[in-house]
A and B are shown apart, each in its own frame.
Chain A
Amino acid sequence: MKKSLIAASIVATFALTSLTTEANASYQWQDTLDQAKGQTVYFNAWGGADNINDYIQWAADRIKEEYDVTLVHVKLTDTSDAVNRVLAEKAAGKDDNGSIDLIWLNGENFRAMKDNNLLFGPFSQALPNYLHYVDENARQSLTQDFGTPVDGMESPWGMAQVIFMYDTATLSSPPKSMAELLNFAKAHPGRITYPEPPQFLGSTFLKQALYELTSYRQALSQPADSVNFDTVTAPLWAYLDKLHKVAWRDGQTFPSSAEEMMRLLDDQEIDIALSFDISAASVQIDKGNLPDTVRSYVFTNGTIGNTHFLAIPYNSSATAGAQVVANFMLSPEAQIKKQNPTVWGDLSVLSYAKLPADEQAKFNALPRGIATLSIEELGQTLPEPHSSWVGALETEWRKRYAQ
């Protein structure tokens, strides 16, 4: 009842003229703020990185102080744990008072939850900070999460892009395309690898390679089963067959994550590591996990980037509190802090042009880590293929290389 009311009111809001919308929205929002007071929001988010955990703790303190909402970070090793839990609750018929109020997710997990009606919403497009600072036209990934329409069911949190890392002490000019990467591997056997799909970075590597190698680029924005998968992906498998012969540990085993790749880079087992976190190199140098001669770079023709989001499960008992949190996470204050490379270094989702001058100045004043690329240096962002490609590529990869 409550849900349908909110949904109805949001629909109504959009139907009205812009002036009334503003007034209505702020009236609505005051309601949400009042409801949220005293609520506890269980935020299920991956807990594998200290700096991100610290950032969430900072946000929790700020939110408590400002809105009287208690944010509890439930540290996950895998986002699918949270998806599983919501599913188990649905299985048991627990349609309210669910254990999760907010999830950090994107791509396939979002699609799975959205398709199975496990999400609350739409809510994001009515958040004040979203209305003020987000420009939906700035990036396709703000409205299309791996090709799945967002439809207000999740609120953007940050942006990521694939970057590569190398040690300038051992390597002078790193390979800047998939073709160069293969040549490099042939010249230096055993020094190139990538994470094992279905780890998301591994799947992203496959998508990046597919994007560069296939001659049917436009097919990638279609669902994978609506095109001739074999024809589109043939060059990818031919490429990987050659790469694996000269890859790290003969392509018999693959690292499990970006973190493991950085460890292997530090151990000098491999020459190139990749990450979805543009400030990963700076953060790890600071922690003593990489030598300070490591630098980041991107491929000449661009690398894949995407947006990550916050979503509210359908059975959350603190939807108001969760919206307050999502809104705070979209505030200039939170986004500036998040983009600080020594804090997290995650790219802001706000539109620079929509910000007031003093907030723009704060963004300009952000320091950069010694190994972090600037927005200009990051260059062109390639769009994620339709989310159905992830599963299709992973299945085919495991069929070919994991048996």
Chain B
Amino acid sequence: MPLKHAKWITGIITLLLIFPIVIGLVGTLLPAFAYFPPLGEYTVSLAPWRNLLSQGEFYASLKLTLITGIVAPLLALWLALSLLAWGYQRPFFRKIEALLSPILAIPHAAIAIGLLFLLSPSGWLVRLFSPWLTGFDRPPNWITVQDPYGISLILALVIKEMPYLLFVMLATMKSIKARESLQVGQTLGYSRFTLWRKVLIPQLYPIIRLPIFIVIAFSLTVVDLALVIGPNTPSTLAVTLLRWFNDPDLTMRLMASAGAISLMLVIVLVLASWEVAHLLFRQLTRAERSNGKRFGLTDNILRLGVVLGLFTLLNAFVALALLPIWSLARRWRFPDALPSQWTWDNIERATPLLMKLTTNTLTIAFIATLMACVISLVMLETKRHNMTDANSSKPHVFDWLIYVPILLPQIGFLFGLHVLLIYLNLNGDLDAIIALHLMYVLPYVYLTLKGPYLSYEEEYLQQANRLSHRPWRNYFMVKIAMLKPALFTAFAIGFSVSIAQYLPTLIAGEGRYSTLTTEAVAQAASGDRKQVGSMAMLQAFFPIMVFWLAQFIPPRWTRWRLKLKQVFHIGLIKKDKTC
């Protein structure tokens, strides 16, 4: 990018990012030490911490959070790697890839509700086999969902996270030259799985480390999913904190803030231990990786992962397919596998909402995502300059800062931020909503663009500039044009992230701006599957469309453009002739 003051711009954007993060943190930190003027608390003390540590529920929730928050990302990573190793570059895998975007696009709460209906004792699976096989006239008293060990919650988390990891991995395949390595490896006689295990995964891991961290932080802090399908005696720490924050006894907020700080510490500790574990794992497997054997027993781990991964995907699709059926159901009782009475009422009731809410939703998502794309391009350009100038790949502070908002638990952090917005008199403004969305969209867009942008062959641009020195035009017509697929994908991801934001929309907009998501979550409060089914469909429609367009447009763009040019030219020629 022929930008002159790239460094300055980066500096300013970095400052703009630091400011809300610091305020959000301070706004959580102070109440955690009992300083909270609105409740008349002016003395700093450790009382909130003493309260917190004397709560048995804190430890029980923490234990559950650690189990679900560590097991889920581990499983998701294992299954995603297995599926990738198994299917990469095979024709049928393209189809599975295309199916990933709906799962990425659909809001967590909707997936959880679909899954709940699939797996519960009165759910679709049991209905399918009742009463002819099981003999059940009524649902059995089993605990298949909301189990105290959090197994169903882990499954829901894996369903949401595995596609994301797979998506990210597929995007990085080019930069580690996977195809070439596979070809070389296979001519050397390595089996596919062994090759992945020994050569590709070790190269892949450092690149996808951040997405993995995001997934871990998400698993540790998720609220909506855990509310629907997680256990409730106790619930995960994030849900327990939400309850404390919302307790009518306002002094509970102090203890809740202390809890939010501990959750942040837990995230840091888990991420650190994860890294240490990875180092240890690498040391332990080093000998095995370089022993030259072309096959290995451990290949079976990947094989098992493929089976489980496919099973998880199947689960996700059935759960998602059931939701639209609910939106058409009038009566659908146990043990009917399909509704006994159908109706359009549910959809009709939801339609006026669609009209009203779509404008808000799309405005916010488009502006926030476009801004995120532009900011990411500027940042990446600066980063590229730094890399070539100083020959050092030391990460800019921005690289880490940008992820802070998504690595922090939303509950405590956003309350602190809300106070800032009120100070600035920005509360309840569309600008404020867009700004907050931007904070959550930017990391994902930046992350998606980073790999392709930095590995771009700069020679093309230089050559173009040598031919005709029009830096801006060439930047757009050559570099950006070549990065189109990555840009479209980044846009699609950012767009769906924006659409799914619930708490930021609610807090910045003070409920005055409803979006499809705030409405859907408010509806989900009623637990009515028919409404949730209709709302989830509407909510998922736009992200799915954008994802589809992101895959559909780039390969056809040039053809269309040329055709358009041709038509235009023919028109001109004809015009000439008539003249």
Interface set of A (CB-CB < 8 Å, partner B): 42, 44, 46-50, 72, 74-78, 80-81, 83-85, 87-94, 99-100, 107-109, 111-112, 116, 189-191, 196, 198, 248-250, 252-254, 256-257, 259-260, 263-264, 266-269, 288-289, 291, 391, 398-399, 401-403
**Complex Cα distance A80/B243, Å?**
10
B179 on the A face (CB < 8 A): no
Question: A253 touching B57 by the CB < 8 A rule?
Answer: no
Beyond contacts A196-B232, A253-B146, A403-B234: 8 other A-B pairs, Cβ-Cβ < 8 A, are A72-B512, A75-B519, A92-B419, A99-B427, A253-B143, A268-B138, A402-B57, A403-B57
**Complex Cα distance A317/B523, Å?**
29
B384 on the A face (CB < 8 A): no
Question: B527 touching A263 by the CB < 8 A rule?
Answer: yes
Question: A88 touching B122 by the CB < 8 A rule?
Answer: no
Q: A48-B522, A91-B38, A402-B233 are in contact. Are A81 and B506 (CB under 8 A)?
A: yes
B554 on the A face (CB < 8 A): no
B333 on the A face (CB < 8 A): yes
Interface set of B (CB-CB < 8 Å, partner A): 36-39, 56-57, 59-60, 120-122, 138-139, 141-143, 146-148, 227, 231-235, 243, 245-250, 253, 329-331, 333-334, 341, 343, 349, 415, 418-420, 422-423, 427-428, 506, 510-512, 514, 518-519, 521-523, 525-531
Q: A268-B138, A289-B528 are in contact. Are A74 and B248 (CB under 8 A)?
A: no
**Complex Cα distance A80/B249, Å?**
10
Question: B334 touching A267 by the CB < 8 A rule?
Answer: yes
Residues on A with beta carbons closer than 8 Å to the beta carbon of B333: 266-268, 291
Question: A190 touching B141 by the CB < 8 A rule?
Answer: yes
Question: A78 touching B246 by the CB < 8 A rule?
Answer: yes
Q: State which of B233, B418, B526, B528 has its C-beta within 8 Å of the C-beta of A401.
A: B233
**Complex Cα distance A16/B506, Å?**
46
Q: State which of B250, B427, B511 has its C-beta within 8 Å of the C-beta of A116.
A: B250
Residues on A with beta carbons closer than 8 Å to the beta carbon of B249: 108, 112, 391
Residues on B with beta carbons closer than 8 Å to the beta carbon of A81: 246, 506, 511
Residues on B with beta carbons closer than 8 Å to the beta carbon of A74: 510-512
Closest to B40 in A: A116
**Complex Cα distance A189/B141, Å?**
8
> Which of A42, A76, A85, A111 has the most chain B CB atoms inside 10 A of its CB?
A85
Residues on B with beta carbons closer than 8 Å to the beta carbon of A260: 527
Q: A254-B232, A256-B232, A288-B331 are in contact. Are A49 and B526 (CB under 8 A)?
A: yes
Residues on A with beta carbons closer than 8 Å to the beta carbon of B529: 263
Residues on B with beta carbons closer than 8 Å to the beta carbon of A48: 522-523, 525-526
**Complex Cα distance A343/B569, Å?**
64
Question: A88 touching B428 by the CB < 8 A rule?
Answer: no
Residues on A with beta carbons closer than 8 Å to the beta carbon of B139: 267-269
Q: A76-B522, A88-B422, A259-B528 are in contact. Are A267 and B122 (CB under 8 A)?
A: yes
Question: B233 touching A196 by the CB < 8 A rule?
Answer: yes
Residues on A with beta carbons closer than 8 Å to the beta carbon of B243: 198
Question: A77 touching B428 by the CB < 8 A rule?
Answer: no
> Which of B37, B246, B343, B511 has the most chain A CB atoms inside 10 A of its CB?
B511
**Complex Cα distance A289/B527, Å?**
11
Residues on B with beta carbons closer than 8 Å to the beta carbon of A190: 141
Closest to A72 in B: B512
Selected A-B contacts with CB under 8 Å, 6 pairs: A191-B141, A263-B528, A264-B122, A269-B138, A391-B249, A403-B59
Chain A binding surface, main DSSP class: mixed
Q: State which of A76, A91, A111 has its C-beta within 8 Å of the C-beta of B37.
A: A91
**Complex Cα distance A85/B141, Å?**
41
Residues on B with beta carbons closer than 8 Å to the beta carbon of A75: 511, 514, 518-519, 522
Question: A252 touching B143 by the CB < 8 A rule?
Answer: yes
Return B131 CB to nearest CB of chain A, in Å. 12
Return B198 CB to nearest CB of chain A, in Å. 44
> Which of A84, A191, A391 has the most chain B CB atoms inside 10 A of its CB?
A84
Residues on B with beta carbons closer than 8 Å to the beta carbon of A44: 511
Return A307 CB to nearest CB of chain B, in Å. 17
**Complex Cα distance A248/B419, Å?**
43
Return B64 CB to nearest CB of chain A, in Å. 10
Residues on B with beta carbons closer than 8 Å to the beta carbon of A83: 248, 250
Residues on B with beta carbons closer than 8 Å to the beta carbon of A291: 331, 333
**Complex Cα distance A402/B64, Å?**
12
Question: A259 touching B527 by the CB < 8 A rule?
Answer: yes
Residues on B with beta carbons closer than 8 Å to the beta carbon of A49: 526
> Which of B60, B329, B333, B510 has the most chain A CB atoms inside 10 A of its CB?
B510
Q: State which of A42, A112, A256, A269 has its C-beta within 8 Å of the C-beta of B527.
A: A256
Question: B511 touching A50 by the CB < 8 A rule?
Answer: no
Return B136 CB to nearest CB of chain A, in Å. 10
Residues on A with beta carbons closer than 8 Å to the beta carbon of B245: 84
Closest to B31 in A: A91
Return A77 CB to nearest CB of chain B, in Å. 4
> Which of A49, A100, A398 has the most chain B CB atoms inside 10 A of its CB?
A398
Q: State which of B57, B122, B148, B341 has its C-beta within 8 Å of the C-beta of A398.
A: B57
Q: State which of B57, B415, B528 has its C-beta within 8 Å of the C-beta of A84.
A: B415
Return B414 CB to nearest CB of chain A, in Å. 10
Q: State which of B39, B233, B248, B525 has its C-beta within 8 Å of the C-beta of A252.
A: B233
Residues on A with beta carbons closer than 8 Å to the beta carbon of B56: 399, 403
**Complex Cα distance A169/B531, Å?**
26
Q: A253-B233, A288-B341, A291-B333 are in contact. Are A80 and B57 (CB under 8 A)?
A: no
Q: A252-B147, A401-B233 are in contact. Are A268 and B122 (CB under 8 A)?
A: yes
**Complex Cα distance A80/B246, Å?**
5
Closest to B331 in A: A288
**Complex Cα distance A139/B227, Å?**
37
Question: A108 touching B523 by the CB < 8 A rule?
Answer: no
**Complex Cα distance A92/B420, Å?**
7
**Complex Cα distance A260/B422, Å?**
36
Return B277 CB to nearest CB of chain A, in Å. 29
Closest to A170 in B: B138
Question: A99 touching B428 by the CB < 8 A rule?
Answer: yes
Q: State which of B60, B122, B330 has its C-beta within 8 Å of the C-beta of A288.
A: B330
**Complex Cα distance A263/B333, Å?**
10
Return A369 CB to nearest CB of chain B, in Å. 18
Return B28 CB to nearest CB of chain A, in Å. 12
**Complex Cα distance A253/B120, Å?**
13
Question: B525 touching A77 by the CB < 8 A rule?
Answer: yes
Q: State which of A91, A189, A403 has its C-beta within 8 Å of the C-beta of B60.
A: A403
Question: A269 touching B233 by the CB < 8 A rule?
Answer: no
**Complex Cα distance A111/B248, Å?**
8
A-B complex: 8 closest residue pairs judged by Cβ atoms: A190-B141, A108-B248, A92-B422, A267-B122, A74-B511, A80-B246, A48-B525, A288-B330
Residues on A with beta carbons closer than 8 Å to the beta carbon of B122: 264, 267-269
Residues on B with beta carbons closer than 8 Å to the beta carbon of A47: 522, 525
Closest to A47 in B: B522
Closest to A92 in B: B422
**Complex Cα distance A81/B510, Å?**
9
Return A103 CB to nearest CB of chain B, in Å. 12
